[in-house]
Amino acid sequence: MAPLIVLIIVTGLARLAGLLHATDWLDSWPHAARLGLAAMFTLTASAHFLQPRRDALIAMIPPRLPNPAALVTLTGVLELAGAIGLLIPWAAPLAAVCLALMLLFLFPANIRAARESGGIKTMPLPLRGLVQVVFIAACVLAAF
C-alpha cells in the first residue's frame, strides 16, 4: 500500500505546485505523474536490495526461472533506471512505457505469491490487481 500512497501524495503535491505556479513544468498531470512514479519506483526498487523485503521478493520468483536473486536485482535496477528516466524530459515517455510493460510482465509473480502464500503480500489479490491498474494508468499518463 505504501507505493500507492507515495504515488498519490507526490503526484498530488507536484500538481498542486503547478496549479500554484511554483513551476510551469508541473502545470500538467503527465509531468506531475512522472514525479509521483519516480518517487514510487525509487521506493519499490529499495525493496529489491534491502532485507527483509529482498528475500520475500526472491521467494516470489517462479521456480522455473533461473537465479531468482539475480532477477530481483535486475528488476530493482530497472525500476531505478525507469525512475531516473521519468525525470529526464526526452526519456520520460519511453521510461513510462517500459515501466508499464514491466508492471504487466511482473504481475504473474504477484498472483503466484498470493496463491501460494509466499513473498510480499500486502493486500488481497483483487485489490492488488486494481492497484496494478492504477500504476499502469499512471505510467500511460506519464508517457504523454
Q: How many angstroms separate the CA atoms of 132 and 125, rounded?
A: 10
CA-nearest of 78, 102, 96 to 31 is 96
The reported pTM is 0.91
**Any idea what DSSP says for residue 67?**
-
Contact between residue 45 and residue 79 where contact means Cβ atoms under 8 Å apart? yes
Q: What does pLDDT average to over the chain?
A: 91
Q: What confidence score (pLDDT) does residue 120 get?
A: 66
DSSP H helices, the chain, are 2-19, 29-46, 53-60, 68-86, 92-116, 125-142
68 has a pLDDT exceeding 70: yes
Q: Which of the two residues, 1 and 49, has the higher pLDDT score?
A: 49
133 has a pLDDT exceeding 80: yes
Q: Is 106 exposed, middle or buried (0-12, 13-18, 19+ CB in 10 A)?
A: middle
Q: What percent of the chain has pLDDT above 90?
A: 70
Q: How many angstroms separate the CA atoms of 105 and 3, rounded?
A: 18
